[in-house]
Chains A and B, each alone.
Chain A
Amino acid sequence: MDRFAAFKWQALFRDWHILLEGLGRTASTAGLALLLALALGVLFGVLATAPWGSGRAVSRLYVSIIQNTPLVTQVIFLYYALPHFNLVLPTPVVGVLGLGVYHGAYVSEVVRAGIQAIHRGQLEAALSQGFTYVQAMRYIILPQAWQIVLPPMTNQAVALIKNSSILAMISGGDLMFQADSWSAATGYYGPAYLTVWAIYFAICFPLAQLAKRWEERVRLSRGGEVTAA
């Protein structure tokens, strides 16, 4: 039987609101996770360049553990670990925590590279004027690093949106989960998955193009050298 027969597509479009619900869940999960990742990323990124050895060590430990184990394992760990502490959170919240902590490690590497791309003299000048380290970061370094950091940060956002499909593995009700459960119920896998592919493409492709354009602009404005990874 044809895996992509017309009547299967019709059935999918009759149930379009199921995908829409999933898209909403994907958007809210990815949005909140991105905020968490940004917060953790700036915190640990600044720590990674801090003058305090213990701060750098903590940051290194966080990045090393998170970047060298799979997101799937981390999210499943979180999903099963919380009940051991009598904490039962809704699955989307587990997803936000897992995704935020995972991408926070990558964002912190981006922030670190951005800070290191700013000339050291800037920090020294600020410190010599009586700024504390945190003040110098807040008012002098980070505002300048922001421009360099924006393109790789956008790429991280794209990766995060794609990775939010991890919710499907813990019944999180996101776009991927909705498509998966709809097709498991109807048996019409082809149309559902291809439609979801198109939706992810419509979100991720423009963002990735934007990141590419910004990257080019940063490179030109910095005299052709590429800095932040």
Chain B
Amino acid sequence: MMEELAALAQWHNVRFLAQGLLITLRISLLTVIFSFILGTLLGVMRFSGHWLLSRVAAVYIESFRASPLILLILLFRFTLPLKPINSGTLAMTLFTAAIVGEIVRGGLNSVDKGQWEAAFSQGFTWLETLRYIVLPQALRKMVPPLTGQFITVVKDTSYVWVVGVQELTGKGVIILGQYGSTVQFFAIFGMIGLIYWALCLAVYRLGRWQEQRMSWLTM
């Protein structure tokens, strides 16, 4: 058993897995950043009540939310002229943006209507009210569901393995092909599971920290 584990714990295997981890991190980070931007835009459009913008956002949100992520990853892989890792990141970004859009709308809805009226009475425009008064308060309400969604993003990066991008899970499965004993099998999956678990926990802690940092916004 020890020899089997020693065979596994070699530098080139560790490096191989670390490369996968970097790809997982890269896809996660890009998805979180861009889906947050696009999702905020969608949420504000949906919230605005503007006859066109609101409907465009609604159609976008509902159609992307109803689709399995794996379907989008495959669709973009085979219909867009992009490298698999990029089409995968794009699919994840567009998918996550729909969910972030719903979270943003929920956050905006949760801010008391009196805030709008008060700001208008002080001469703020709609956009100014949104930017300086309502969004900051909504953001605090959005942090817990956003944290949950971004944890999901980290986990969902494993779907990109379906188009051959060797992220953490993919690298693990490849290593598995060379080290097939039961002990090695559990060691590899235990390691991968532990890394995901640590990543998710890190995102969760970041979310909690951000929530506490913004606690002065609670009324």
Contact = CB atoms under 8 A, between A and B. Distances in A.
A84 B182 contact: yes
Contacts of B157: 70
Contacts, number: 107
Question: B interface, how many residues as a size bin?
Answer: 35 or more
B176 interface: yes
Contacts of A183: 78
A168 B74 CA distance: 11
Contacts of B189: 73, 77, 81
Nearest to A161: B68
B211 to A, nearest CB: 15
Contacts of A80: 173, 176, 185
B56 interface: no
Contact of B75 (A169, A193, A201, A203): A193
A128 interface: no
A189 B155 contact: no
A84 B184 CA distance: 11
A204 B192 contact: no
Interface in A56-115: 64-65, 67-73, 76-77, 80-81, 84
A61 to B, nearest CB: 12
A158 B67 CA distance: 10
Which of A72, A163, A201 has the most C-beta atoms of chain B within 10 angstroms of its own C-beta?
Answer: A72
B200 interface: yes
A156 to B, nearest CB: 13
Given A68-B196, A73-B193, A205-B62, A166 B70 contact: yes
Interface in A22-80: 64-65, 67-73, 76-77, 80
A193 B74 contact: yes
Interface stretch (B4-12, B44-52, B124-132, B158-166): B158-166
A165 B156 CA distance: 13
Contact of B196 (A69, A180, A190, A200): A69
Interface string B189-203: 100110011001100
Max chain A C-beta neighbours (<10 A), residue from B62, B68, B176: B68
B62 A3 contact: no
B23 to A, nearest CB: 14
Given A70-B196, A72-B158, A194-B75, A162 B67 contact: yes
A176 interface: yes
A208 interface: yes
Interface string A4-23: 00000000000000000000
Contacts of A136: none
A65 B66 contact: no
B70 A176 contact: yes
B107 to A, nearest CB: 13
Interface string A192-216: 0110110011011100100000000
8 contacts: A73-B189, A80-B176, A80-B185, A81-B186, A165-B68, A168-B70, A176-B71, A203-B66
